[in-house]
Structure 1
Amino acid sequence: MNHGRKAARGLTGALALLVALTAAGCSSKATGGDGNGDGTAADGVKSGTGVTDKAIRLGALTDMTGVYATLGKSVTQAQQLYVKQVNAAGGICGRQLELTVRDHGYDPQKALAAYTELEPEVAGFAQFIGSPFVAAVKPRVDGRDKGLVLPQAWSASLLGSPYIRVLGTTYDVETINAVDFLLKEKGLKAGDKLGHVYFEGDYGQNALAGSKYAAGKAGLTVVEQKIKPTDNDMSAQVAALRKAGVKAVVVSAGPRQAASLVGVAAATRFLVPVIGNNSAFAPQLLDTPAGPALEKMYWFASPSLPIGADTPVARKLVADYQAAYPGQTLDNGIVAGWTAASVFGEALKKACADKDLTREGIDKALLTLNRHDAGFGLTHDLSDPKAPSSRESVILQPDRSVPGGMRTVRQPAASEAARSYRVG
């Protein structure tokens, strides 16, 4: 969810320039008699940007028309469902939640323009897809804006900010857990070669750091294959990995690239286990020609149990989501969106109890959530901005026979290597 369209430095520089230009054109916070500014409401609660006597405004910067359109749609609809249910129960702090959505289509200019447009109007962002875009606004968030951002991205480069909080394992830690699964359950052993196909840019480089660390611990050799998000045919990569004699493959790319890699490998009888990061699978792939191969030789790591998990929260969410959006595909974007919305909601409830719904009050409230359970198998510790909220990963396997198209093959766990790894 954080895949750049150019090399990391070039994209970062271009985004930084865009941030500077857009910030210059919109530098004032909204204030005034509607309560959308610093002040104290009639109920004695301090209010700030995005908060009135009657409403708490949140933003969602999503991708509903670009490379992650399927994910963006699921995340957004789950968050809209959360807002609807919270408001039906009376809201938070006597105020109704309002979620304003902007589709950036995974375009840097649109993403940063949307941030600049909404930032003066909202208390924070319950969604921001695209870690290059989040990283680009990070200096502005940390230096002036200070609004809470919960990105749907898991790059370690986003750690360290008290306002931008990664929910779950970062890509490097997640990849370490994925390699541990290959070692313990798929026959990979010391002396073997491990292939790694990864997107250029922040996502791929962060995942590669994890595979190299895990390989060093286990005595493996990593064979790298760097690709671009526009590369959809993995035939050349499969041929190169076969020639190198790799015994397993990690893929840190998008669902389309993972499906191509597995499909080509199966067709050419290159039958090695393949495991991906959490953003390298979508259940819609099971309806493609690669579907049967994915069910047999593909796994992926996840920061949560799947949408079809047998937990009370998962069962209720599935029923509520299907009632709200009949006929829509179930996927883990729903889990990601619901988890982020619930974390933001809990921070708002704590801030209300502290009588401080300013951005500073909301940020402080979030730091008190050191054992937040969103109902999908992992407990999140949000007290340390320098650390991911968890080092545990769930290993899932595509399976069209279960709701959401994925089943759990390893429960939430952090490998020894993941626990010892120094993030960042």
Structure 2
Amino acid sequence: MSTTYAARVAAGALAALLVLAGCSSKAKDDDADKAGAGGVKTGDGISGKTINLGVLTDMTGVYATLGKSVTQAQQLYVKQTNAAGGICGYQLALTVRDHGYDPQKAVSGYTELEPKVLGFAQFIGSPFVAAVKQRVDGQDKGLVLPQAWAASLLGSPYIRVIGSTYDIETINAIDFLVKEKGIKKGDKIGHVYFEGDYGENALAGAKHMAAESGLTVVEQKIKPTDNDMTAQVAALKQAGVKAVVISAGPRQAASLVGVAAAGKFNVPIIGNNSAFAPQLLATQAGPALMNNYYVSSPSLPIGADTPEAKKLVADYQKAYPDDALDNGIVAGWTAASVFGEALKKACESKDLTREGVDKALLTLDSFDNGFGIPQNFTDPKAPSSKQSVILQPDKSVTGGMKVVREAEASQVAEAYTPGA
């Protein structure tokens, strides 16, 4: 979920936008902290008895299905939290903006919401988050929990990646291919990837793991607007690859797997966490996806056999009976829960300013909301986890994904420094 439509062109457009946005950004007066209830300090984003949080999502672009699930899960979290009394005596409120995976809308949405919110419980798109990173770090300092996993976002005390970054996730994916799917030293593996932060960060992981494992990577770079993978499959088949990694969106993954199956190109294919949506199982590509496709995920799936997962499924289905279950729900719920936990810790320290919430997150060293992977936020330079769960599409299970390898970090991933 973190590509650009034309990375270099978009970068120039974003730079121009940021100059304009920076000029109109409101000045900070050291937060002008206010004393709230019980002597708790408050600042930006808190008005009366309400904590305002921002959501910058994609409900009409390349990740529309995911954005809807993430957002609805966060709205459910807010509704349940408020019904239980809120946090620190405050009610939570989300302000949602759909940027449609458009760079201009993403930056203008951030500029609009930033003065009004304490932080962002969601921001889809690594390049868009990167575009405002200088402002977040330099003057705004509001916590951002992106639905994006590019290693370029690491290092900020305010922008905190939840789970393994794309490079680590890809290393774990290839480790699965080597250990479980017979890929061996000397083999070629294909990598179909979006241009931009997402795909190129995943490619860095693929190249690192290939070097460690004696493999050769055959690259196929694509754009988010490229929906037919016929040419890519033909090129990879001709190159003689023994497996394929795809770092793109659900639509591209379905095309890749479907075209490969139709052409009897029977090799295992594995995608990053955003390269699948269970709605694909109802398409012509469904049987092929269930037969030969896998996904490297930062958490257990929505259909996990844990009390927390089962409760979330029941609650979500009650709130949104007409909508499908997918792992975007897990991602949205986890991010909202992490933000909520940081707010609770900040309240205990009597500091609900942006600075207080940022400091509170640094105290969370083993956060686990029942989806299999503890998250450690104490080091801004590191992802909160290096583990991945390997999933396989299966329309017979809740959420359309079953676990084929439990959470683990490969030896190569453990030794790897993201973004290095």
Q: Per the shorter chain, which TM-score range?
A: over 0.9
Identify the match of residue 174 of structure 2 among 154, 168, 179: 179
> Which residue does the alignment assign to 2:115?
120
**Equivalence for 1:4:** 4
| 8 A contact 2:28–2:139 mirrored in 1 | no
Work out the CA distance in 1 between the residues paired with 2:33 and 2:50.
14
> How does 1:282-361 map onto structure 2 within 5 Å?
282-361=277-356
Mapped to 1, the partners of 2:254 and 2:336 lie a distance apart of 30
Structure-2 separation of matches of 1:112 and 1:29 = 19
> Paired residue for 1:40, among 35, 44, 49?
35
Shift of the alpha carbon at 1:11?
2.4
Counterpart of 1:378 in structure 2 is 373
SS in 2 for 1:136: helix
Contact 1:37/1:50 (8 A) holds in 2: no
Measured after TM superposition, the shift of residue 42 of structure 1 is 3.8
Contact (CA 8 Å) 1:6, 1:200: kept in 2 or not?
A: yes
2:212 is aligned with 1:217? yes
Deviation string for 1:247-299 (max 9, x for gaps)?
A: 00000011111110100000000000000000100001101100000000100
Query: Equivalent residue for 2:84?
Result: 89
Following superposition, the deviation at residue 29 of structure 1 comes to 5.9
Q: Any unmatched runs of 5+ in structure 1?
A: none
2:15 is matched with 16
| C-alpha deviation, 1:28, in angstroms | 4.1
TM-score (norm 2): 0.98
The alpha-carbon deviation at position 341 of structure 1 amounts to: 0.2
RMSD over aligned Cα, in angstroms? Answer: 1.3
Rounded Cα–Cα distance in structure 2 between residues aligned with 1:198 and 1:148: 29
Contact 1:74 1:333 in 2 (8 A): yes
Letter of the 1:25 counterpart: S
Residues 42-61 of structure 1: matches in 2 within 5 Å?
A: 42-61=37-56
Cα distance in 2, alignment partners of residues 374 and 13 from structure 1: 40
1:408 maps to what in 2? 403
The equivalent position to 2:157 in structure 1, one of 143, 156, 162, is 162
In the TM superposition, what is the alpha-carbon distance from 1:19 to its structure 2 partner?
Answer: 1.8
* Contact 2:45–2:53 (CA under 8 A) maintained in structure 1: yes
Does the Cα contact within 8 Å between 1:26 and 1:117 map onto a contact in 2? no
Distance across 1 between alignment mates of 2:122 and 2:284? 32
Change (3 A) 1:319 1:349: same
| Aligned structure 1 segments of 4 or more residues deviating by more than 6 angstroms | none
Q: 1:178 touches 1:395 (CA, 8 Å); kept in 2?
A: yes
How far is the alpha carbon of 1:30 from its aligned partner? 10
* SS of residue in 1 equivalent to 2:228: coil
Contact conserved, 2:147 with 2:331, CA < 8 A, in 1? Answer: yes
Q: Deviations over 1:197-225 (max 9, x none)?
A: 10111111100000111101110011111
Q: Which amino acid aligns with 2:125?
A: G
TM-score of the pair, normalised by structure 1: 0.97
Count of aligned pairs: 419
Equivalent in the alignment of 1:70: 65
AA partner of residue 196 (structure 2): G
Where does 1:268-279 land on structure 2 (aligned, <5 Å)?
268-279=263-274
CA distance in structure 2 between the partners assigned to 1:379 and 1:327 by the alignment: 31
Q: What is residue 101 of structure 2 aligned with on the other side?
A: 106
Q: Distance in 2 between matches of 1:294 and 1:327?
A: 24
CA shift, 1:191, in A, is 0.5
Secondary structure of the equivalent of 1:411? strand
| Matches of 1:52 and 1:60, distance apart in 2 | 18
SS of aligned partner of 1:408: strand
| SS at structure 2 position matched to 1:271 | coil
* 1:52 shift after superposition: 3.1
Q: Residues 29 and 121 of structure 1 are in contact (CA less than 8 Å); yes or no, is this contact kept in structure 2?
A: no
Correspondence 1:247 to 2:238: no
Q: Which amino acid aligns with 1:5?
A: Y
Q: Does 1:422 align with 2:417?
A: yes
CA drift at 1:43:
1.6
